[in-house]
Protein backbone atom coordinates (compact mmCIF):
# COMPACT_ATOMS: atom_id res chain seq x y z
CA UNK A 1 0.00 0.00 0.00
CA UNK A 2 1.39 3.39 -1.00
CA UNK A 3 1.56 6.35 1.30
CA UNK A 4 -1.16 8.95 0.72
CA UNK A 5 -0.22 12.19 -0.96
CA UNK A 6 -0.70 15.12 1.39
CA UNK A 7 -1.80 18.26 -0.37
CA UNK A 8 -2.82 21.33 1.61
CA UNK A 9 -3.85 24.74 0.26
CA UNK A 10 -3.11 28.00 1.99
CA UNK A 11 -6.19 29.44 3.73
CA UNK A 12 -6.36 32.47 1.42
CA UNK A 13 -6.03 30.24 -1.66
CA UNK A 14 -8.78 27.95 -0.38
CA UNK A 15 -11.19 30.87 0.00
CA UNK A 16 -10.29 32.22 -3.43
CA UNK A 17 -10.78 28.82 -5.11
CA UNK A 18 -14.15 28.27 -3.43
CA UNK A 19 -15.32 31.66 -4.62
CA UNK A 20 -13.99 31.04 -8.12
CA UNK A 21 -15.77 27.68 -8.45
CA UNK A 22 -19.04 28.94 -6.97
CA UNK A 23 -19.26 31.93 -9.32
CA UNK A 24 -18.29 30.09 -12.50
CA UNK A 25 -17.31 33.22 -14.45
CA UNK A 26 -13.99 31.85 -15.68
CA UNK A 27 -12.96 29.46 -18.44
CA UNK A 28 -13.64 25.75 -18.17
CA UNK A 29 -9.92 25.08 -18.00
CA UNK A 30 -9.54 27.41 -15.02
CA UNK A 31 -12.59 25.88 -13.33
CA UNK A 32 -11.19 22.37 -13.79
CA UNK A 33 -7.85 23.36 -12.33
CA UNK A 34 -9.56 24.99 -9.36
CA UNK A 35 -11.62 21.82 -8.78
CA UNK A 36 -8.44 19.72 -8.95
CA UNK A 37 -6.86 21.81 -6.20
CA UNK A 38 -10.00 21.76 -4.04
CA UNK A 39 -10.43 17.99 -4.36
CA UNK A 40 -6.76 17.43 -3.57
CA UNK A 41 -7.14 19.62 -0.49
CA UNK A 42 -9.93 17.30 0.68
CA UNK A 43 -7.43 14.45 0.85
CA UNK A 44 -8.33 12.51 -2.30
CA UNK A 45 -5.55 10.65 -4.06
CA UNK A 46 -4.57 11.64 -7.65
CA UNK A 47 -6.70 8.94 -9.30
CA UNK A 48 -9.79 9.98 -7.32
CA UNK A 49 -9.16 13.67 -8.08
CA UNK A 50 -8.79 12.91 -11.79
CA UNK A 51 -12.02 10.88 -11.82
CA UNK A 52 -13.99 13.45 -9.83
CA UNK A 53 -12.75 16.46 -11.83
CA UNK A 54 -12.99 14.60 -15.17
CA UNK A 55 -9.36 15.31 -16.06
CA UNK A 56 -6.32 13.12 -16.63
CA UNK A 57 -3.89 12.16 -13.89
CA UNK A 58 -1.21 14.11 -15.75
CA UNK A 59 -3.34 17.25 -15.39
CA UNK A 60 -3.68 16.61 -11.68
CA UNK A 61 0.07 16.24 -11.22
CA UNK A 62 0.84 19.25 -13.43
CA UNK A 63 -1.57 21.51 -11.53
CA UNK A 64 -0.19 20.34 -8.20
CA UNK A 65 3.40 20.90 -9.31
CA UNK A 66 2.65 24.40 -10.61
CA UNK A 67 0.80 25.30 -7.40
CA UNK A 68 3.66 24.10 -5.20
CA UNK A 69 6.35 25.77 -7.31
CA UNK A 70 4.73 29.07 -8.26
CA UNK A 71 1.47 29.55 -6.37
CA UNK A 72 -2.19 29.84 -7.26
CA UNK A 73 -2.20 32.23 -10.27
CA UNK A 74 0.32 30.10 -12.19
CA UNK A 75 -1.54 26.89 -11.30
CA UNK A 76 -4.84 28.24 -12.62
CA UNK A 77 -3.81 30.15 -15.72
CA UNK A 78 -1.70 29.39 -18.78
CA UNK A 79 1.31 31.48 -19.66
CA UNK A 80 0.85 33.71 -22.70
CA UNK A 81 1.56 31.74 -25.82
CA UNK A 82 3.99 33.09 -28.37
CA UNK A 83 2.75 33.77 -31.82
CA UNK A 84 3.08 36.12 -34.70
CA UNK A 85 1.72 39.56 -33.84
CA UNK A 86 -1.32 40.78 -35.70
CA UNK A 87 -0.61 42.59 -38.94
CA UNK A 88 -3.99 44.28 -38.99
CA UNK A 89 -4.08 46.24 -35.76
CA UNK A 90 -6.97 48.51 -34.79
CA UNK A 91 -4.90 51.44 -36.04
CA UNK A 92 -4.50 49.82 -39.47
CA UNK A 93 -8.23 48.98 -39.53
CA UNK A 94 -9.00 52.63 -38.86
CA UNK A 95 -6.68 53.70 -41.68
CA UNK A 96 -8.37 51.29 -44.10
CA UNK A 97 -11.85 52.43 -43.10
CA UNK A 98 -10.89 56.10 -43.31
CA UNK A 99 -9.38 55.62 -46.74
CA UNK A 100 -12.35 53.59 -48.03
CA UNK A 101 -14.79 56.27 -46.83
CA UNK A 102 -12.86 59.07 -48.50
CA UNK A 103 -13.22 60.36 -52.06
CA UNK A 104 -11.87 57.93 -54.68
CA UNK A 105 -8.63 58.98 -56.39
CA UNK A 106 -8.61 60.81 -59.71
CA UNK A 107 -9.38 58.48 -62.59
CA UNK A 108 -11.46 56.07 -60.49
CA UNK A 109 -15.14 56.35 -59.74
CA UNK A 110 -14.91 54.17 -56.60
CA UNK A 111 -12.26 52.53 -54.45
CA UNK A 112 -11.26 49.03 -55.51
CA UNK A 113 -9.36 46.62 -53.28
CA UNK A 114 -6.34 47.06 -55.50
CA UNK A 115 -6.45 50.86 -55.19
CA UNK A 116 -6.94 50.68 -51.43
CA UNK A 117 -4.00 48.30 -51.08
CA UNK A 118 -1.74 50.51 -53.23
CA UNK A 119 -2.58 53.58 -51.15
CA UNK A 120 -2.02 51.64 -47.91
CA UNK A 121 1.43 50.55 -49.12
CA UNK A 122 2.27 54.22 -49.72
CA UNK A 123 1.12 54.93 -46.14
CA UNK A 124 3.45 52.19 -44.85
CA UNK A 125 0.98 49.34 -44.29
CA UNK A 126 2.07 46.22 -46.16
CA UNK A 127 -1.12 44.17 -46.49
CA UNK A 128 -2.65 41.82 -49.00
CA UNK A 129 -5.83 42.68 -50.86
CA UNK A 130 -7.53 39.86 -48.96
CA UNK A 131 -6.61 41.44 -45.62
CA UNK A 132 -8.08 44.73 -46.82
CA UNK A 133 -11.24 42.93 -47.96
CA UNK A 134 -11.65 41.24 -44.58
CA UNK A 135 -11.33 44.55 -42.75
CA UNK A 136 -13.94 46.13 -45.00
CA UNK A 137 -16.21 43.14 -44.52
CA UNK A 138 -15.81 43.47 -40.76
CA UNK A 139 -17.02 47.08 -40.83
CA UNK A 140 -19.80 46.28 -43.33
CA UNK A 141 -18.20 48.36 -46.03
CA UNK A 142 -18.33 47.86 -49.76
CA UNK A 143 -15.91 50.14 -51.63
CA UNK A 144 -17.82 49.57 -54.88
CA UNK A 145 -21.20 50.70 -53.59
CA UNK A 146 -22.48 54.23 -53.44
CA UNK A 147 -22.39 54.35 -49.63
CA UNK A 148 -18.98 53.29 -48.38
CA UNK A 149 -18.14 52.96 -44.71
CA UNK A 150 -20.13 51.61 -41.82
CA UNK A 151 -23.73 51.22 -42.80
CA UNK A 152 -26.50 52.57 -40.66
CA UNK A 153 -28.55 49.38 -40.55
Do residues 36 and 62 touch, judged by C-beta distance below 8 A?
no
CA–CA dist 70, 114 (Å, integer): 52
Instruction: Looking at the structure, tell me whether residues 69 and 15 fall in a common domain.
Output: yes
Q: Which of 88, 96, 107, 89 is nearest to 148 (CA)?
A: 96
pLDDT tens-digit map of 123-133: 888 888 899 99
Number of domains in the chain: 2
pTM above 0.85, yes or no: no
Boundary residue ending a domain (45, 76, 107): 76
* Residue 122 structural domain: 90-138
pLDDT tens-digit map of 60-114: 999 999 999 999 999 999 888 888 888 888 989 998 998 888 998 888 888 999 9
Amino acid sequence: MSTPVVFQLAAADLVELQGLVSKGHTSVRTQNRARVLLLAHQGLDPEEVAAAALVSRATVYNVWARYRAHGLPVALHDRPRPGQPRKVTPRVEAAITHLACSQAPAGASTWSLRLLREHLVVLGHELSAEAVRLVLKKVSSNPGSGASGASGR
